[in-house]
Amino acid sequence: MTGAGNYLRIWAVVRRIPRGRVSTYGRIATLARLPGHARQVGYAMHGLPSDTSVPWQRVVNAKGEISRRARSGGEVTQRLLLEREGVRFNSRGRIDLEAFGWPKAR
DNA sequence: AAACTGACTAATA
DNA sequence: CTATTAGCCAGTT
pLDDT digits (tens, 9 = 90+) for A70-95: 777 788 899 999 999 999 999 999 99
A98 in Cβ contact with A21 (< 8 Å): no
pLDDT confidence band for A106 (50 / 70 / 90): low
- A 46-65, residues with C-beta < 7 Å of strand C: 47
Distance CA A63, CA A7 (A): 23
A38 CA to C6 C1' distance (Å): 14
CATH class held by domain A4-100:
mainly alpha
Residue A7: HSE in the Cβ half-sphere, 13 Å Cα cutoff:
14
What pTM was computed for the model?
0.91
Q: Is A44's CB less than 7 Å from nucleic acid strand C?
A: no
What is the average pLDDT score of chain A?
89
Neighbouring-strand partners of residue A22: A101
- Give residues with Cβ within 8 angstroms of A7, minimum separation 6: A1, A43, A44, A47
Considering all nucleic acid strands, name the nucleotide whose C1' atom is nearest to the C-alpha of residue A1.
C10
Give yes or no for CB of A45 within 7 Å of strand C. Answer: no
User: Would you place residue A67 in the very low, low, confident or very high pLDDT band (cuts 50, 70, 90)?
Assistant: very high
